[in-house]
Structure 1
């Protein structure tokens, strides 16, 4: 019997010695209680506690943690929307006691404050402004959480609005609006492109017409210069200007007939085109020029006589007044 007691006592002593030592991981804190009362806090490394008297009440994580909270609420324009709020928080080293003993469930506490803030801020905004002002919502959540959780030993590192999910029908309507806006923008660009093409085409046509008119003017100028030279040549051989002009017109008439005759597929008929037509045209033009010259001379004499009579009347009128 005595031989069994010593081995048993040895085993018990070894167990007590081994249970007196424990390790604490990095970024973790262990809280030690003695008979149910907090005595000390231990950080990373190998630690010692009194066996059978001290016990580890719990361990608390000192790393940055993240909690995702999904809140469903209504906007100012009566649209139901779901927001996903990501809260990054950390237990402060100097407040481990408060974080462990004062707050039973930190996740539930943080969730409650997030719900309270989001449901107070979002109903003030229309749906479009919820997307635009999501950073303001995140700042409001962080401010409220910092004020509430600091007393419990928690530090709010950052809050983010990571997702905004409207009702499925509202989302479909928004997609249709965006598609219509893009189609409108595309139509405006296409209309502007068509306008540019029309303006460019009009400018090109205007430039073509201008060049065409300039070419016609140059052509007529050269024709007039050639006619002038032809008249000068005929005057040098004793043919006056009227006869020369008539002769040139008749010559152009026969040149035109010759050009028409060279065109095999032409349906154009020039009248008159008889052999006697050229001679009659020449005589008629000479007679017309002669009559026109006579009428011109007569009009000059008549105008001159009128000017003389008018001058005499003015002279007699001036003498009578004197």
Structure 2
């Protein structure tokens, strides 16, 4: 009797185990009965009729991503590769359509992406492709959304994630960019050099102005000192010419003394004989005398011309 019970129990356990199945979260299981669609089961503990029912397939209800690389040509005849990322999901209420109507969804989505990209990019220049990549992504999504909705797929988002021109084109673009940056750098360097030159010229002009002012103040003080020296000599009976000559001779010897005291001075050749001071004084007195005579003669000539004009009138 036990030989019959044990096989029956064993067979019953197999039937019971085969009737139970588990569906994971965010997954849909398609159950067929005798090869014909029966039901769709979602996450959790599920039962089916052993031998009669079978799980035909499972579909993920999670958002999935498909990356499609499309090579095409732009309006300015530049070959470029675009990487388009398509995010899609199976619509929960359209699992039947997604499972039975479309066998290879990846191939279908790829075909639509190729079709849209190769229709849109040839209308644009290469620079516009970079600027208007969002427009390309919107066009791809619009086309896919309309086509894939009937197959139970919803297009969440499409992104143009990479634009890769031909290697020679990229090298040329890099050279253009580098040249443009070098041009801007040269302009900045020129502006900085011009500012430095202008500021240096201003500083030199200010320095010379201050130097000239200092020299003028120095000469003014020297003239004031000479004037005071002449006044002192006049008080002791020395006239202005002799006083001026005496002052010049004194400055001559003071200069010689200062040159002798300076250890790092350059070589200067000056008359330094005992007779040099006397010659200088005599020459200066003669020069002053001649100057006074010329002045008197010019005054007489001016008075004579004035008298002649008065007589003619």
TM-score interval, normalised by the smaller of the two chains: 0.7 to 0.9
Does structure 1 residue 268 correspond to structure 2 residue 268?
yes
C-alpha distance in 1 between matches for 2:301 and 2:274: 42
CA deviation after TM superposition for structure 1 residue 6, in Å: 5.7
1:158 partner SS = strand
2:108 matches 1:109: yes
Q: 1:44-193, aligned counterparts within 5 Å?
A: 44-193=43-192
Tell me how far apart the structure 2 counterparts of residues 156 and 82 of structure 1 sit (CA, whole Å).
22
Gaps of 5+ in 1: 317-322
- Please list the CA deviations of residues 202-240 of structure 1 after superposition, one character each: whole Å capped at 9, or x if unmatched: 344333333322322222122111111111111111222
Aligned to 2:226: 227
2:213 — aligned with what? Answer: 214
SS in 2 for 1:253: helix
Residue in 2 that maps onto 1:17: 16
Counterpart mapping for 1:307-322 below 5 A = 307=306, 309-310=308-309
Residue 268 of structure 2 aligns to a residue whose secondary structure is coil
Find the residue that maps to 1:238 and give its secondary structure: coil
Alignment CA distance shift 1:250-1:76 (3 Å): same
CA distance in structure 2 between the partners assigned to 1:26 and 1:291 by the alignment: 127
TM-score of the superposition, structure 1-length normalised? Answer: 0.83
Tell me, what secondary structure is at the counterpart of 1:98?
helix
- Secondary structure of the 2:148 match is helix
Tell me, which stretches of 5 or more residues in structure 2 are unaligned?
Answer: none
Secondary structure, aligned partner of 1:119 = helix
Match of 2:301 in 1: 302
* 1:238-263, Cα deviation, whole Å (9 max, x unpaired): 22222222222222223333444556
1:82, CA displacement in angstroms?
1.6
Change in CA separation of 1:309 and 1:21 when aligned onto 2, cut-off 3 Å: same
1:121 is paired with a residue whose SS is helix
Structure 1 vs Structure 2 CA RMSD:
2.8
Deviations 1:137-182 (A, max 9, x none): 2222222222221222211112222222222233333333344344
- Pair 176,266 (structure 1): closer, same or farther in 2 beyond 3 Å: closer
For 1:38 and 1:18, the matched residues in 2 are separated by: 22
Distance 2:102 2:311 in 1: 132
Q: How many residues align?
A: 312
Cα deviation for residue 4 of structure 1 reads: 6.0
The 1:311/1:34 distance shift into structure 2, 3 A limit, reads farther
CA distance in 2, matches of 1:234, 1:226: 12
Q: Deviations over 1:107-142 (max 9, x none)?
A: 111101111121122222333333333333222222
